Amino acid sequence: MKKIKIFLFIYAFLIHYLCLSQNFTFDFNSSGRRVCLVSSEVDPANETVKVIIHDSLSNSTEPIIINRRKFGTYPWTEMVSDLPAGSGHWQDTVVNKGEIWEYQVRRKNTWNYNFKIYDAIGYTIAAMVSDNTDYKGQLILVAAHDIPDLLPEKYFRLKKELTSDGWFVNELIVSRAAKWDSGNEVVTIKNQISGIYNNAPGNDKPKLLFILGHVPLPRCGSADIDSPDFHEYNKGARGCDVYYADIDGIFTDVATYNPLTHNIPLGYNFPGDFKWDQDFFPSDIEMAFGRIDFADLTDISSPEITLIEKYLDRLSNYRNVAPGFDMGDKSGFYLGYDNSNDGSYRSLPNISGPENVFQNYNGPNHNQWVQVNGPFKIYMQNLLIPDVSDWQTYGMEATVFSSDQSYWGFGDVPQTGDYSRIRSLLGIDSKCVIALWTTTSINVFHQACTGMPLGLAMKEIMNHNASNQYLEKPQQKYDTQDLWNRTHFAFYGDPGLSLYQVAPPANLKLTDLAGKAVLTWESPSDTGILGYHIYKSESEFGKFERVSDSIIKENEYTINDYLTGNWYMVKSVKKITSGCGQFIHPSIGKSLPGNIILSEKDPDVDSFIQLFPNPFKNTIFIKAPLPIEKIEIFSVLGKKIFSSLYIVGPENHLDLSFLENNMYILKIKLTEGKINTLKIIKNN
């Protein structure tokens, strides 16, 4: 028995050891000559950026070119044309604190594909303590009607938390799709989305499209070109939420795609069937998009609405950094096809920092490896179709998951085997809330290292094509021009989620302190909190604008321009260091209504005003030292309910039988201008 116990201990130890993560190693100059491996460090005090070239030691022959551009602008400007081979870094001194710069690093003529020579290319960004704490912008939330009907509290919480995350939510409730080919219903929805977008202010157009539930799915594709996964039977009219996100693109419906042997009937395309002809974006998409849709799955037996509920709970846990939902600092990957590997090398060192990027060398036990070594911000499997039984056994200890394999990424049909598995993965109880299919060339997203929502980072590579070269990518196997800018992109999950978390404050309160409105709160259990920012809005779901000029160090804030009926919000603030610099990042906000009437007390009369009884049933008696000039009654939310405008005597009874049982604010103005406010409770 003792020998058996020793054997089991050694076996368990070896399994654990074999699963341990290792920081990645790869020679980018002899075998992987497509990528320059780079990240950045910033020095805000001296206003300098160090672009670090991690594969420099093995590069003894090829000089380096470095281009830069202001983040979010085009085109590139060459900064250095011949940095000597082997240089470990380059320093940029023409930067200012608060700015964000993007860098492209390249070595000339390092490899070839299809008889054409290409450069090795890498990207990094320098965030010079940029500030992410302001209003983020508008988004459009398109929800199938059964979600708010069946999950009213969870749906309300989602809208609340999107608002508290810095977005103005435009809500669009649509009919649930009756089938997977919705015909002209998609036109109606597109017109509604376009109306919201076009009616928004010119400087505040919606940036995100969040599709929740079984919303009618557009379909696009008609040309006899390479399928997104190189399988002939996956051509044709596939899922195309791009149709909703491209506001000014022209989509036509005149082409025929009828190969006769197509094994996906929904992929056939005929004139006038409301399946669009386009295989490529007709223009740049205006909004990033993501879909959550658990209809017609076979991997999971739970009802669709239950899966939606559990997913919304996970989203809320991530935003609130609930126990067990800290996504951590690390990223991981497993080698697959070159195009996906290159995406890992270009993106992950920036997002997590090179020291926090780990490679799985232990084979296909992906979920077990991630469980042992996680949590991870991102795990890029880059080989093999995800195994549902592994997910159900080990979960997925990563916030974002991607793979480059075929079939599973087509989420546009009822699930049959691997088809639509990308949707089922998000329904399994795990840490994963975003699933990507990198076969469709969504494989460069380093911009997320600035705290930008992952969906917005993905929009850059979605809009990339051979003409605009927003993010230059040399063509390679499974990543040719025929795969760029395709209408069938697979982004499943919340497109507004950031890969960096800050814990929010707790127990927010609003009190009247000597006639001043004062917010108080408790600090979160999070290290490195710099302080707090304060925001206000005219309504609960309005545009919350920051009112604190500098970070508040204390746990209270006096609202100098307090207005009853406004909403007030507090966010924790933290400085994040990633592989591309530093930025000030906020938590989700905690908000409450301005539901108090500030006291206007006169110490000479305060103690002499008497109310009885209180609580009262229908009538309340008021006794005051001076005649009462005016009486007003407000709800606790500040709405005026009653006002008496005539002068009455110093002792009065007031018939309030018309009020409902509740708490109210009674404001009394005496002659000589003396004012007092008191709380009264009707309890009939």
Contact 502, 572 (CB under 8 A): yes
pLDDT of residue 31 exceeding 80: no
Residue 97 buriedness (CB in 10 A; 0-12 / 13-18 / 19+): middle
* Residue 651 parent element (H or E): strand 651-655
Cis peptide before 386 (omega within 30 of 0): no
| Same domain for 259 and 407 | yes
Rounded to whole angstroms, the Cα distance separating 103 from 155 reads 40
> Does some domain include residue 11?
no
> Does some domain include residue 600?
no
> Does some domain include residue 501?
no
| Same domain for 473 and 527 | no
| Same domain for 152 and 208 | yes
Which of 25-34, 211-220, 408-417 has the highest mean predicted lDDT (pLDDT)? 211-220
| Same domain for 420 and 546 | no
Q: Given this model, what pLDDT does residue 629 score? A: 84
> Does some domain include residue 114?
yes
- Chosen domain end from 130, 165, 192: 130
Contact 346, 396 (CB under 8 A): no
pLDDT of residue 13 exceeding 60: no
| Same domain for 428 and 563 | no
| Same domain for 627 and 486 | no
pLDDT one-digit tens code per residue, 542-551: 999 999 999 9
Q: What is the mean pLDDT of residues 202-211?
A: 98
For the chain, count helices (H), then strands (E): 11, 35
| Same domain for 142 and 124 | no
Host domain of residue 298: 138-493
Instruction: For the beta carbon of residue 153, count every other beta carbon within 10 angstroms.
Output: 10
> Does some domain include residue 521?
yes
pLDDT of residue 122 exceeding 70: yes
Instruction: Print the SS3 string covering 467-494.
Output: CCCCCCCCCECCECHHHCCECCCCEEEC
> Does some domain include residue 648?
yes
Residues ≥6 apart with Cβ < 8 Å to 265: none
| Same domain for 580 and 640 | no
pLDDT one-digit tens code per residue, 509-532: 999 887 889 999 999 989 999 999
pLDDT > 90 fraction of the chain, expressed in percent and rounded: 68
> Does some domain include residue 215?
yes
| Same domain for 260 and 150 | yes
Nearest to 614 by CA among 577, 654, 649: 654
- Chosen domain end from 95, 114, 130: 130
pLDDT one-digit tens code per residue, 171-192: 999 999 999 999 999 999 999 9
pLDDT of residue 323 exceeding 50: yes
| Same domain for 546 and 479 | no
Does residue 666 or residue 294 have the better pLDDT?
294
Helix (H, G, I), strand (E, B) or coil at 95: coil
CATH code of the domain covering residue 516: 2.60.40.10
Handedness of CA 205, 209, 215, 218 (dihedral sign): positive
> Does some domain include residue 498?
no
- Band the pLDDT of 11: cuts 50, 70, 90: very low
Residue 294 falls in which region: left (phi positive, over 0), alpha (psi -120 to 50) or beta: alpha
Kindly report the average pLDDT of the chain as a whole number: 90
Helix (H, G, I), strand (E, B) or coil at 361: coil
pLDDT of residue 673 exceeding 80: no
Rounded to whole angstroms, the Cα distance separating 371 from 20 reads 10
Q: What is the mean pLDDT of residues 273-301?
A: 96
Contact 624, 611 (CB under 8 A): no
| Same domain for 573 and 441 | no
Number of structural domains (the chain) is 4
| Same domain for 414 and 560 | no
